[in-house]
Amino acid sequence: MLCKEILLNSTNMFSLSNKRAVITGGGSGIGKAVSLVFAREGALVNIIDLNKEQGKEVADVIIENGGKAFVHTCDVSNQKEVSDVFKHVGKIDVLINNAGIAHVGKAHDTSEKDFDRVFEVNVKGIYNCLHEAIPVMKINGGGVILNMCSIAAHSGLPDRFAYSMSKGAVYAMTLSVAKDYISDGIRCNCISPARVHTPFVDNFLAKNYAGKEKEIFEKLSKTQPLGRMAKPEEVAHLILYLCSDEASFITGCDYPIDGGFLKLNN
């Protein structure tokens, strides 16, 4: 009987039809890919981004291709702005806490200002969104939360003190939320990418390694055993699975998507 049920229900896998999703940092990089993939699978996408123009560009593409999308300009580190946006969004089935910033530096040469900024965006920003989304999900009988962690939470990366601190906090918050709200029907997981080829990487190389962009890009790519960086859409597809009904038995987990970085590097 089980075999027959599986065969009869084998279509439309990973569908997000009739789901309302909120994606922070949804106007560029990984967030953009998630916005497009979610819209393709039927979700109504709420893009939250500090850059209104980038968010609008993504929403326009979604709408032009028959999808549904709204753009909200918001600094996730500002609780009032986040609260106002989430009140406007209303019902939430899926929350993707993707917005974040990077920082290069060791403990002794990271300024207080830079440390605070990384914390405000990468840690408090996620807290602000959780603070607003969870009560809505509880009222609606459940939901799915996906936090953007990093291999930096699990491995000692050179010159990434503040960034690693923030991603360690993301990992801990994920476990806490999964534990606290499991009886409310809320699942919470995170993923830990290694390097992903986004516009941020290209801008970083142009700013810090002018004239050596290709050389440094190849060097960074080879730190992953697979020999390349991930594509944003590869990360988006993992997120899609974890937020779909097919992953309904998964909560409180972190999923590396790292080209073998954590397990295969010696």
Write out pLDDT tens, residues 18-66: 999 999 999 999 999 999 999 999 999 999 999 999 999 999 999 999 9
Catalytic residue among 127, 163, 181, 241: 163
In tens, the pLDDT along 183-195 reads 999 999 999 999 9
**Please, what is the average pLDDT of the chain?**
95
Overall pTM > 0.85: yes
Instruction: List CB contacts of 107: < 8 A, sequence separation 6 or more.
Output: 161
Mean pLDDT of 200-229: 94
Helices of type H across the chain: 2-8, 29-40, 52-64, 79-89, 112-119, 125-140, 161-180, 199-208, 213-221, 232-243, 261-264
CA 110 – CA 224 distance, rounded (Å): 26
What is the band of 208 on the pLDDT scale with cuts at 50, 70, 90?
confident
| pLDDT over 80 (residue 7) | no
CA 174 – CA 187 distance, rounded (Å): 10
In tens, the pLDDT along 59-106 reads 999 999 999 999 999 999 999 999 999 999 999 999 999 999 999 999
pLDDT value at residue 1: 47
Mean pLDDT of 199-206: 90
CATH 3.40.50.150 fits 14-194+232-256, yes or no: no
What is the band of 11 on the pLDDT scale with cuts at 50, 70, 90?
low
pLDDT value at residue 152: 98
CA 91 – CA 176 distance, rounded (Å): 23
**Closest of 192, 155, 156 to residue 171, by C-alpha:** 192
pLDDT value at residue 204: 85
Residue 163 among the catalytic residues:
yes
What is the band of 233 on the pLDDT scale with cuts at 50, 70, 90?
very high
> Around Cβ 27, how many Cβ atoms within 10 Å?
25
pLDDT value at residue 12: 77
Compute and round to an integer the Cα radius of gyration of the chain.
18
| pLDDT over 60 (residue 163) | yes
Mean pLDDT of 136-148: 98
